[in-house]
Amino acid sequence: MPWWHGAFIYQVYVRSWRDSDGDGYGDLPGVIDGLDYLEWLGADAVWLSPTMPSPDDDWGYDVSDYLGVHPGLGTLDDLDRLVREAGTRGMRVLLDLVPNHTSSAHAWFVDARGSRTSRHRDFYVWADPAPGGGPPNNWLDHTGEPAWTFDEPTRQYYLHNFLPSQPDLNWWNPSVHEAFEGILRFWLDRGIAGFRIDVAHGLYKDAELRDDPPADPADPRGRNGLLPAYSANRPEVHGVYRDWRRIAEAYSPPAVLLGETWVREVSELAAFYGDDDELQLAFNFPFVFADFRADAMRSVVARTFASLRPGACPVWTASNHDISRFATRWCGGDERRIRLALGVLATLPGAMVLYYGDEIGMPDVDVPPALQRDPMTMNGRAGGPCRDRSRTPMQWSGGPTGGFAPEGVPTWLPLGDAAAANVADERVDPSSVISWTRALLGVRRLYLSGSVASYEELPGGDDQWVYRAGPLVVRANFSEERVQVAGVGQVLLRSSAEPVGAGVATAANGGNLELAPWECVVAAESP
Ligand code: NOJ
């Protein structure tokens, strides 16, 4: 079975995880220092946020060299060592690959904008002004501005779905395919186990550059009032993943391709798995953005399993570097809900991805405008909150730098309330969130790893979500009520901080149990 079936993948936002050299930024040697911790936690793999050289207009998602390591994060030797050191602990390393766009500082773009006949001109999407002047069509970038920037010297517009310094690549050009296939092989040959693919749904754009239609305000797929029907989400992208899958399969074990597949409805997700010949893993954003209610969760999970081909491996995650952390967004900081959410994430069949800090219930941090560092979303740009709220330093301990950087070093983003939630204090407390997470991961490894277990929803009240996951039965109480349940089976774990005792189901009491408000109980089915 592929190793990622039932695996636990840990996302490290490298700049914010561990600062080894005291400059206030996390780095690759810091990640190496943290590998023992990840082994203790039970990670099967680490996904590193972008590690390649970049001017950092989008913190690494604007790559200027796909075959290197960002000097601020370390060296290629550090990355090689990280892969080796992870390997000795039984862990694999995934890199973030950004194929939709490059940095405008990339040598390809520097060459491309040199003249209309430059060798790399067609690596990018260029177009003449509209007949009456102005941008070639109505497409908007992620900040809500026109997605086209006029290049004065060559008198054409170039396309950027993100910042103007992130020109979109032209995937209609076979040379772009060739270049990326070389990039894939370069890293896989060095022992990288696979890639998280940025903007995986977006590489191809409509060949005729047709206008995006207006979006119905109720349509969740809308962006800045438009439906990105032509500026992204084109069917031709599947050919790219079929090619990459063939490359991935040439390695032993096969490399894994995990797509950032921004679709708003789970039924659209299945296409990215192809006929088991495209991506092996695809992020499930409809689940991420589901309301934290039993009915909403049950429904999106049921639809996920109904739409994926049997054997396909869903991905369960709830936080990342672009969105609010689940401890805040789903749980409003309520520890009972945080434990419940972790219980569900760890027991749904498929792969699970936790974002650094999720394991201690780390909440969003309110980063004041003067300290914001994300050019794309600072000061309300892009019309939403600044993404820095979920990129603050990892809270390793309760000290002034949270154990992230040496004492006295100003951290690149402000530290959250490390005294309230940190690894050091939680590790020694058997009733802490991290102890709960680790216990869940232990049960997961024992019962759910190595396969995509079967999933079946079981009857329960309106605010209950009861399901069978392989040999486990999970009862999740999404309410403030206490709930009586019968025939529980052998209780393996319960999330309530209440002492286990009278509440444990036994043969003597007929397997009855009372669930506390927002409690999650994981049981093994009675034989
Ligand atoms: C998705 C990444 O997760 C996000 O951080 C980035 O800004 C965009 N893609 C553009 O690369």
CATH code at 325? 3.20.20.80
71 lies in some domain = yes
For residues 88 and 135, state if they share a domain: no
SS3 assignment, position 141: coil
Kindly state whether residues 84 and 117 are assigned to the same domain.
no
| Cβ 199 under 6 angstroms from ligand 1 | yes
User: Among residues 409, 437, 465, which one ends one of the domains?
Assistant: 437
- Specify whether the CB–CB gap between 262 and 285 falls below 8 A: yes
**Confidence band (pLDDT; 50, 70, 90) for 501?**
very low
Inside any domain, residue 146: yes
Ligand 1, atom 4, lies closest to the CA of 322
State the closest ligand 1 atom to the C-alpha of 61, by its place in the atom list counted from 1.
11
Of 437, 462, 484, the residue that ends a domain is 437
Residue 382 banded pLDDT, cuts 50, 70, 90: confident
Q: Please identify, by atom number, the ligand 1 atom nearest to the C-alpha of residue 161.
A: 10
Cα of 198 vs centre of ligand 1, distance in Å, is: 6
- Of all protein residues, the one whose alpha carbon is nearest to atom 8 of ligand 1 is 61
3 within a domain of the structure (yes/no): no
Burial 121-158 (b: 16+ CB within 10 A, else e): bbbbbbeeeeeeeebbbbbbbbbeebbbbebeebebbb
Confidence of residue 502 (pLDDT cuts 50, 70, 90): very low
Per-residue confidence band for 96, with pLDDT thresholds at 50, 70 and 90: very high
**What distance, in Å, lies between the first and last C-alpha atoms of the chain?**
26
Residue 371, helix vs strand vs coil = helix
Q: What is the dihedral of CA 489, 495, 500, 504, to 10 degrees?
A: -20
The percentage of the chain sitting over the pLDDT mark of 90, rounded to a whole number, equals 92
Per-residue pLDDT at 505 exceeds 70: no
Question: 61 CA distance to ligand 1 centroid (A)?
Answer: 6
Answer yes or no: do 343 and 417 share one domain: yes
In the chain, the percentage of residues whose pLDDT exceeds 70 is 97
C-alpha atoms less than 13 angstroms from C-alpha of 416 in its C-beta half-sphere: 24
Domain count, the chain: 3
Task: Provide the pLDDT for residue 355.
Answer: 99
- 64: nearest Cα among 167, 174, 172: 167
Check whether residue 150 and residue 248 sit in a common domain: no
Residue 354 inside a domain? The answer is yes
Are residue 242 and residue 380 in the same domain, yes or no? yes
Examine the domain organization and report whether 150 and 46 are in the same domain: no
In a domain, 420, yes or no: yes
The verdict on 397 and 499 lying in the same domain is: no
**Amino acid in the structure at residue 371:** L
Mutation pick for ligand 1 pocket among 317, 322, 389 (CB with most ligand atoms within 8 Å): 322
Convert the pLDDT of each residue in 22-61 to its tens digit: 999 999 999 999 999 999 999 999 999 999 999 999 999 9
Residue 135: CATH number of its domain = 3.90.400.10
Same domain, 357 and 459: no
Residue 442 lies in a domain: no
Distance CA 156, CA 276 (A): 41
Average pLDDT score over residue span 337-347:
98
Asked whether residue 443 is assigned to any structural domain, the reply reads: no
Quick one: 31 and 54 in the same domain? yes
> Which are the contacts of 520, defined by CB distance < 8 A and separation ≥ 6?
339, 340, 343, 344, 474, 475, 476, 477, 494, 495
How far, in Å, from the CA of 110 to the mean position of ligand 1? 22
The SS3 of residue 457 is strand
Is residue 61 in contact with ligand 1, taking CB distance under 6 Å?
yes
Tokens 């997470």 correspond to what residue? 437
Check residue 80 and report its DSSP letter: H
CATH of the domain at 470: 2.60.40.1180
Q: Is 126 in the same domain as 214?
A: no
Question: Does residue 444 lie within any of the structural domains?
Answer: no
Q: Give me the helices (H) in 66-194, please.
A: 76-88, 107-112, 174-189
How many angstroms is it from 142 CA to the middle of ligand 1?
10
Overall pTM > 0.75: yes
| Whole-number average pLDDT of the chain | 95
Which sign does the torsion angle of CA 495, 501, 503, 505 carry? Answer: positive
Residue 387 three-state SS = helix
240-266 residue pLDDT tens: 999 999 999 999 999 999 999 998 889
Biggest CA–CA distance in the chain, Å, is 83
The catalytic residues are: 198, 260
At residue 377 the predicted structure's pLDDT band, cuts being 50, 70 and 90, is very high
pLDDT surpassing 80 at residue 367: yes
CA-nearest of 472, 476, 485 to 524 is 472
Residues 76 and 200 placed together within one structural domain of the fold: yes
Q: How far is residue 447 from each of residues 14, 340, 454, measured CA to CA in Å?
A: 31, 19, 12
Helix axes 174-189, 237-249, angle to 10 degrees: 30
My answer on whether 420 and 328 are in the same domain is: yes
Give the pLDDT score at 356: 99
Which residue range(s) make up the domain with 155? 107-159
Q: What is the mean pLDDT of residues 440-469?
A: 96
* pLDDT at res. 527: 53
Is residue 488 very low, low, confident or very high in pLDDT (cuts 50, 70, 90)? confident
Closest CA relative to residue 324, chosen from 336, 333, 315:
333
Following CA atoms 394, 361, 455, 478 in sequence, which dihedral angle do they give, to the nearest 10 degrees? -160
Question: What's the rounded Cα separation, in Å, for the pair 47 and 13?
Answer: 8
Cα–chain center distance at 151: 34
Q: Is the CB of 56 under 6 A from ligand 1?
A: no
pLDDT tens digits, one per residue of 179-227: 999 999 999 999 999 999 999 999 999 999 999 999 999 888 888 999 9
Cβ of 163 less than 6 Å from ligand 1: no
